[in-house]
């Protein structure tokens, strides 16, 4: 694979998949979903500060873009060309990359009251988010 693959990507699909992945996080970490458990597991008050900067949203959006772009590049290299292959692609990247990274960094963070829960909620978000992104990428070849 070379960086020339960037010219072959469906950039609208990458942007839509990035936004869907990011938006899932807004639901995933909401109080009615996993927000309370995540807050307890992290040992922090995750309420937004009164004067929050755009970085609170920009950094997660940028990271969702980077991993979605990498997933799109892998999808292009593996000839992913339908929604089912896209779902499988997202699952493979989520379970094969995001889950181990999240667990190795989260499960051994002894500053957290519940490191395994902290890691599991974060890994679950990335697995579901990448599966969603992969479905969109596979659908919009």
pLDDT digits (tens, 9 = 90+) for 61-91: 999 999 999 999 999 999 999 999 999 999 9
Helix, strand or coil for residue 81?
A: coil
**How many residues in the chain?**
141
Least confident of 26-30, 45-49, 109-113, 127-131: 45-49
Per-residue pLDDT, 140: 92
Q: Are 24 and 132 in contact (CB under 8 A)?
A: yes
What is the spatial distance between Cα 71 and Cα 87, in angstroms, rounded to a whole number? 11
Per-residue pLDDT, 109: 87
């Amino acid at each position: 694979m070379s960086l020339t693959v960037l010219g072959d990507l469906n950039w609208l699909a990458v942007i839509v998949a990035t936004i869907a992945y990011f938006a899932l996080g807004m639901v995933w970490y909401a109080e009615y979903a996993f927000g309370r458990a995540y807050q307890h597991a992290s040992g922090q008050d995750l309420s937004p500060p009164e004067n929050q900067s755009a970085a609170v949203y920009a950094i997660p959006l940028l990271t969702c873009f980077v991993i979605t772009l990498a997933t799109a590049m892998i999808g292009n290299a593996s000839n992913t060309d339908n929604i089912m292959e896209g779902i499988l692609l997202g699952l493979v990247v989520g379970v094969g990359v995001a889950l181990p990274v999240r667990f190795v960094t989260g499960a051994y963070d002894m500053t957290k009251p519940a490191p395994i829960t902290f890691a599991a909620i974060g890994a679950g978000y990335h697995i579901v988010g990448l599966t969603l992104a992969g479905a969109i990428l596979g659908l919009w070849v």
